[in-house]
Chain A
Amino acid sequence: QSVLTQPPSASGTPGQRLTISCSGSSSNIANNYVYWYQHLPGMSPRLLIHKNNERPSGVPDRFSVSKSGTSASLAISGLRAEDEADYYCAAWDDSLRGWVFGGGTKLTVL
């Protein structure tokens, strides 16, 4: 069981807007930054968004995040076929004194 909870799967059609949720607790999401990672098939994971909607170079602004209390969400607008990947949320956990990940959400573009 992962400390952060994500839906195992999500799907959408090209052009659609879709959100992926990440639920945690007061020891992680509520008081720390949430990070999102994209893991494309056959590739290494890459940082997608960090801190307050900061995107590394090359990540399109179709990706955005929000946070409220102990939950966070990743939103993908204008869904494209190349967005098909596994998405993970992560945060530092003050109680465990370590990084925790969500179980990952497999996104399928229909």
Chain B
Amino acid sequence: QVQLVESGGVLVKPGGSLRLSCAASGFTFTAYYMSWIRQAPGQGLEWVSYISTGGHTIYYANSVKGRFTISRDNTKNSLHLQMNSLRAEDTAVYFCVRGGGDAFDFWGRGTMVTVSS
């Protein structure tokens, strides 16, 4: 069955960096766009970024552009999000999600990132 398992979420200080990872299994990873979507505490869903199958097309939300970098390793069926210059408003559960060029059709359980001094 399809599985997306996120890791890397921790408590980090403002201005710090963090790298999230997502291990995908149960489907042909190379055939799907992949995305990161986040949910701040008590708030709604916010799309963060998506990457195409080969990694050549990437989009970011304005709120993270220039600070976050999405990447994928198709040899290891993994998705990553490098997060730099973190701010308090980046505090959220980060979901690894299958899709991005079309529907977001499968979501991981999420990993919590807390940015606080």
A-chain residues with CB within 8 Å of residue B110 when the two chains form the complex? 44
* A63 touches B (CB below 8 Å): no
Residue from the list A98, A102, A103 in contact with B61, Cβ < 8 A: A98
* B55 touches A (CB below 8 Å): no
Chain A residue at minimum C-beta to C-beta distance from B49: A98
B44/A98 in contact, CB under 8 A: no
Closest beta carbon of chain B to A97's beta carbon, Å: 6
Given A98-B61, A99-B50, does the pair A47, B44 have CB atoms closer than 8 Å? Answer: no
* A24 touches B (CB below 8 Å): no
Chain A residue at minimum C-beta to C-beta distance from B45: A101
A-chain residues with CB within 8 Å of residue B95 when the two chains form the complex? 44-45
Chain A residue at minimum C-beta to C-beta distance from B95: A44
The range of chain B's interface size is 20 to 34
B45/A98 in contact, CB under 8 A: no
Task: Number of A interface residues at 8 Å Cβ cutoff, please give it.
Answer: 23
A45/B60 in contact, CB under 8 A: no
Q: How far is the CA of A45 from the CA of B109 in the complex (A)?
A: 9
Q: How far is the CA of A104 from the CA of B46 in the complex (A)?
A: 11
Q: Which of A79-99 contact B (CB under 8 A)?
A: 86, 88, 90, 96-99
A88/B105 in contact, CB under 8 A: no
Given A50-B102, A98-B59, A98-B61, does the pair A2, B44 have CB atoms closer than 8 Å? Answer: yes
B107/A45 in contact, CB under 8 A: yes
Chain A residue at minimum C-beta to C-beta distance from B93: A44
Closest beta carbon of chain B to A90's beta carbon, Å: 8
Closest beta carbon of chain B to A99's beta carbon, Å: 4
Q: Which B positions have Cβ atoms within 8 angstroms of A? A: 35, 44-47, 50, 59-62, 95, 100, 102-110
Q: Which 7 A-B pairs have the closest CB atoms?
A: A99-B47, A104-B44, A50-B103, A44-B107, A103-B44, A101-B45, A47-B105
Q: Which A positions have Cβ atoms within 8 angstroms of B? A: 2, 35, 37, 39, 44-47, 50-51, 56, 86, 88, 90, 96-104
